[in-house]
A and B are shown apart, each in its own frame.
Chain A
Amino acid sequence: MASNSARIGAVFLGALIAAFSPVAQADDTKSVHVRGSTIFLPAMQVLAERYMAEHPGSRIVVLGGGTWWGVKTILDGSAEIGMVSGETVPDELAEVAEDENLSLHRAPLARFGVVPIVHPSNPVATLTVAQLHDIYAGHIANWKEVGGPDKPIHVVASEDAMAGIFQVWASRIMAGTVVTPVAKTVAATQIDAAVAADPLAIGYNALGRMVPSVKPLKVGGVAAGEDSIADGRYMVVGDLALAYLEPLAPAAKAFLDYCLGEAGKAETGRIRAAYIGDRR
């Protein structure tokens, strides 16, 4: 019986120590999970591989999934860093953050351009912001009105309101106006395919994802490029940021700093975006 009491005492003491020691499980792990914007994905993949090569034993696990998924996974703890494009946090996720008293931090890293695209056979080469607005609002419905053939314009737009290109288009071109209901809406990553397949179509895509099967248009006479985005001449732009919760585990903090520093500066060109990681 005495030995039994001693055993209970030991258990009790051990449990007491465990209960009062600081919880540190989350901080022991060397892995960092990154999720989110597919616009930023190609740069993040290279940053992750470079980091793992320079820091043996570290594991950076990268997955796209889109901005919504990036925000969602850092809120539920399955990722540490979210790649987010655009300014909006969707209501349902903002609610989760509020309920659980989590505050989302963002570190801007790259400014990216969104480019109007048409079929390669389309003679139109440049459109103004006002013309793009009117086309997407449905006020201009014939290519003839903007210097093209006498044919109807087929508007293609993103169906995903959280996609970075949707948000940039909504704020920089539409300025609050609703896109015409006759627009064809497809997944953000499918717009170029839809435009490549239709000589009368107009769509938009991120500069870093431009494909040869579509023709990029200038906006107000300015071609999108890293320089014209960086110096502000090209106006249809949005910011990519790395989102996270405080306190950030040391491994994730180290990788975040790496991305925001020289390495990030070197790799943002890969997605033809302008580096803004030093503008915090």
Chain B
Amino acid sequence: MKARSLLLAVLALWLTARPAGAAELRYILQDLRCLPLTRSVMGNGDCPVEQNSVVIAGSTAMVFYTRLLATEFEKRNPGVKVEVSGGSSIAGLIAVDRGAIDLAAISRDLSPKEYRTELKVTMIGRDGLVAVVNKANPLSDLSKDQLRAIFLGQMTAWPGSGHAIHVVSRNPESSTLQSFEEIVLGGDKVAEAARVAKGSEALVAAVSGDEDAIGFVGLHGLSPDVKALTIDGVAVSDATILSSRYPLLRSLNLVEWGGEAAGAKRRFVDFAAGPDGQALIEKAGAVRVE
């Protein structure tokens, strides 16, 4: 109580001493009074009560990233709850359109038919995949269509040698497999004849031990033990992923309706797109875009 009156006295003095900017200062003082720190000491008073949850839904492939961000965000913002759920990009977009959720987390870019003036799309990362073969394989490039044909079981022999292609895929729970089926196979499933490796290290081991093998890894799974193929003549790198020239990539986006300047949603988006959120994204295997 004593602290509060002391502070008020200081403010009153300051206001009367500078009558010229009084109106302006009153706004600033209200802002100061309602800062999280001041609130924690002095209580909420007549500060507007902030929305204390953020509801996110959308692509299942995004859940991995948004959960990571949510956990750290909640740690830094006690009392704020971030609800994350999967489903699909399109369901997320519809839900955010109708105001049912705060943010749609989608693992692709919007198509022109989905453009709305009110939608704000914040890119929080870029994700890439790499097709790998044995180092003894003379092949160094495949088109995206050839890669698709190989993993659908439609192309079964290596061009040149004519050897049978040994397809190595990932375990069904793998998020890399989900990405691969989304980016390369357009939602189709890898052919059943494929050998399954559990984890990217196991996949690299399988491919490095078999001259006729082909597999795929996320950016962080790349190893000098295997050869990374260029796709449509473009080698994978952070630069070709950021420029959108590398074909096996996707954008990680948070989509909101309107772009309110304040609130838990805004702070979450700013956190995700800011240096600390981006460090988490990078650690999780994607390319930072901040």
Contacts and interface: CB of A to CB of B under 8 A. Distances in A.
Interface of A: 1, 4-5, 7-8, 11-12, 15-16, 19, 29, 31, 33, 41, 44-46, 48-49, 52-53, 59-66, 68-69, 72-73, 76-78, 92-93, 96, 160, 187
B16 interface: no
B7 A76 contact: no
B28 interface: yes
A11 B38 contact: yes
A41 B115 CA distance: 19
B109 interface: yes
Given A61-B289, A65-B112, A72-B115, A12 B7 contact: yes
B37 A66 contact: no
A77 B273 CA distance: 12
B12 interface: no
B120 A5 contact: no
Given A61-B126, A68-B115, A76-B259, A29 B7 contact: no
B116 to A, nearest CB: 9
Contact of B239 (A31, A48, A92): A48
A274 B194 CA distance: 50
Interface string B249-290: 001000000010000000000000000000000000000111
Given A52-B238, A72-B117, 14 more contacts: A1-B2, A7-B41, A8-B41, A11-B35, A16-B32, A19-B28, A46-B243, A48-B239, A49-B243, A52-B243, A53-B239, A59-B288, A59-B290, A65-B112
Contacts of A66: 112
B244 A92 contact: no
Contacts, number: 98
Interface residues of chain A: helix, strand, loop or mixed (majority): helix
A92 B117 contact: yes
A62 B244 contact: yes
A92 B119 CA distance: 13
26 contacts: A1-B3, A5-B2, A7-B41, A8-B41, A12-B10, A12-B38, A15-B37, A19-B31, A41-B244, A44-B243, A48-B242, A52-B238, A52-B243, A53-B239, A59-B238, A59-B289, A60-B242, A61-B123, A61-B242, A69-B110, A69-B112, A69-B115, A72-B115, A73-B121, A78-B121, A160-B112
Nearest to B111: A65
Contacts of A77: 120, 259
A100 B103 CA distance: 23
A12 B11 CA distance: 10
Interface string B176-216: 00000000000000000000000000000000000000000
Given A8-B3, A92-B117, A15 B122 contact: no
Contacts of A16: 32
A12 B10 CA distance: 10
B49 interface: no
Nearest to A69: B115
Interface string B104-115: 000001101001
Contacts of B28: 19
B13 interface: no
